[in-house]
Chains A and B, each alone.
Chain A
Amino acid sequence: DVKVTQSSRYLVKRTGEKVFLECVQDMDHENMFWYRQDPGLGLRLIYFSYDVKMKEKGDIPEGYSVSREKKERFSLILESASTNQTSMYLCASSFASSYNEQFFGPGTRLTVL
């Protein structure tokens, strides 16, 4: 079974803190994605990566950065957390072809106080 794991299910941080969200997949997928999910807004793409050290901005990259040093790991970084970044963050991965489904991790519920 494909497994995508995220470092935390729940996280509480203070405004201004630097936050790291980690995602690991075990199926040798080329593509990895970070989304945030908010009520009524669906899933919005923050960043994606199609190879090690490669990254592309999604719809809402402001306030976020990413790192992909190894194929199986994709990290999302909030440089200085703000209250409007309180959200559910979902990581996903897939094989390179657009024919392939995305597999999602369980999500991290981040609250910024």
Chain B
Amino acid sequence: QQPVQSPQAVILREGEDAVINCSSSKALYSVHWYRQKHGEAPVFLMILLKGGEQKGHEKISASFNEKKQQSSLYLTASQLSYSGTYFCGTLPNTGNQFYFGTGTSLTVIP
């Protein structure tokens, strides 16, 4: 039920790009993305809905492939402030239980 994220961890230099993937075994209604900095609570980044509607962060983009039940988060020109653990959260088409993924640790170094 829990979506699988890849990679588990990534280290970038400032200015580099990264892609984080989220894959579910269930048909999805929506995908959420959150970032958690060390010692802090997760913070919302973006929601993607079935049908292509999006709501979220201006500087971070994401895609949602409904047929493949996958979402990807694109972080471009990374900054030190992008460091943290990124979680996807999924809401299936059927049922109302929300599932978070296992997380991707992203570290941006100077």
Q: A-side interface residues toward B, CB under 8 Å?
A: 33, 35, 40-45, 48, 50, 56, 58-59, 90, 98-107
Q: B-side interface residues toward A, CB under 8 Å?
A: 1-2, 5, 29-30, 32, 34, 40-44, 47, 49, 55, 87, 89, 91, 96-103
A-B contacts at CB below 8 angstroms, number: 60
**Cβ of A43: which chain B residues have Cβ within 8 Å of it?**
42, 87, 89, 100, 103
A56 and B97 within 8 A (CB): yes
Name A42's contact: one of B30, B32, B102 (CB within 8 Å).
B102
A98 and B91 within 8 A (CB): yes
B29 and A98 within 8 A (CB): yes
Complex: chain B residue closest to A90, CB-CB: B41
Q: How far is the CA of A45 from the CA of B96 in the complex (A)?
A: 12
B100 and A35 within 8 A (CB): yes
Name A45's contact: one of B41, B99, B101 (CB within 8 Å).
B99
Name B99's contact: one of A59, A101, A104 (CB within 8 Å).
A59
